[in-house]
Structure 1
């Protein structure tokens, strides 16, 4: 039982992720087949729907925006401040011990393996979270572009228009509309989290300041 207690947050989030993707697949396949029948086209099975641009474009479009949000959040909070927010370091306080030069822990056997290696490996590891999230954003953006082009070509075929390649799709205003409609919501939600955590609380959450903490207190 200790495994579920120690990993309850990730287990719950994995369950929610799987459940919502499954719901997205079934509802998306139904919507896709309804559209196909309206145009006298053959329908697809649920398995066949997984390979359509309709599904993959929507999936990676959302993943892309989420990875952008998290990458920006991780990187910006390393350098910028918001006084009073639980999501910021104190601009007047000492730098967290988490920001100590990892070189000082090079010979500590309990330190992660990359910390005990050479300068290049240690430096890359020092920024690995931002690098990983940024890389996932780029990958999702590319997959979104490919799937969006495929979905766009299905629509083009229905209207007797020629298909387009990836570069043409990349220059298409509709593709960027797909991106920006998600990106703006991610930046807005992050902004609200940063600002609302100044004044509001959720007792027991590590993302909240203590209930009795003054508004001007910065950090958790």
Structure 2
């Protein structure tokens, strides 16, 4: 290998390492997600097969379990609550405040996030929807909330569909008729599953909003600087 080729490989490796460093928060969170999803699938299979044996049914292999209503329902009922929490949080922080919290915009002044993009001088680096303007810009300036609420709606529906399958299987095991996805939406089981997740998500949001008034984590953008007075709001 020539010196030029060696230098090129070293440069490519350096760029790859820099990219990983610059995106490490996202990458680590996704890695944890994959590991936890795998752990959920493995433990869920054991739970499901224990229930199968209790009802005198045959156990299922791992691949079949991954397509079952039991697995999909458990997955989407949790995703549903997460996306609802994030979408609601994005929208609520536009209008609502918490004095002293790092999670709130300052109460007495406008921030960069409040700036109307139509009043900004655009250049080549400005996002395309801002340069385009019109309806495209209206969608783009609300795209983060739209993104989370679309994911919430999809997860909500998939929870209903997969939950109906799992619920019908359980009903059949006890000699009762199954239900459709629409019918499952009218059951207390569906809303129990949803509300038990929703309440925990909003409790977590309220906890960080309130705790960040008085508590600190040095180095974290979710915290105010350690020496900042409690009454100061925002970053």
Structure 1, residues 69-122: CA drift from partner, whole Å, max 9, x if none? 1001100001111110000011112x1123211112363221101111131000
Alignment partner of 2:93 out of 74, 77, 85: 77
Query: Alpha-carbon deviation of 1:172?
Result: 0.5
Report what 1:216 is aligned to: 231
Report what 1:176 is aligned to: 191
The 8 Å contact of residues 118 and 133 in structure 2, kept in 1 or not, is answered as no
The 8 Å contact of residues 53 and 150 in structure 1, kept in 2 or not, is answered as yes
Kindly name which structure, 1 or 2, has the bigger radius of gyration based on alpha carbons: 2
Alignment partner of 1:155 out of 167, 170, 173: 170
Alpha-carbon RMSD: 1.0
Segments of 5+ residues of structure 2 without an aligned counterpart are 1-16
Alignment partner of 2:153 out of 125, 134, 138: 138
- TM-score, normalization: structure 2? 0.91
User: What does 1:55-70 align with in structure 2 at a 5 Å threshold?
Assistant: 55-70=71-86
* Separation of aligned partners in 1, 2:63 and 2:128: 42
Query: Alpha-carbon deviation of 1:144?
Result: 0.3
Alignment partner of 2:67 out of 24, 31, 51: 51
- Hey, which bits of structure 1, 4+ residues long, moved more than 6 A? none
2:95 alignment partner, SS class: coil
- TM-score, normalization: structure 1? 0.97
The 8 Å contact of residues 160 and 182 in structure 2, kept in 1 or not, is answered as no
Alignment partner of 1:35 out of 51, 56, 63: 51
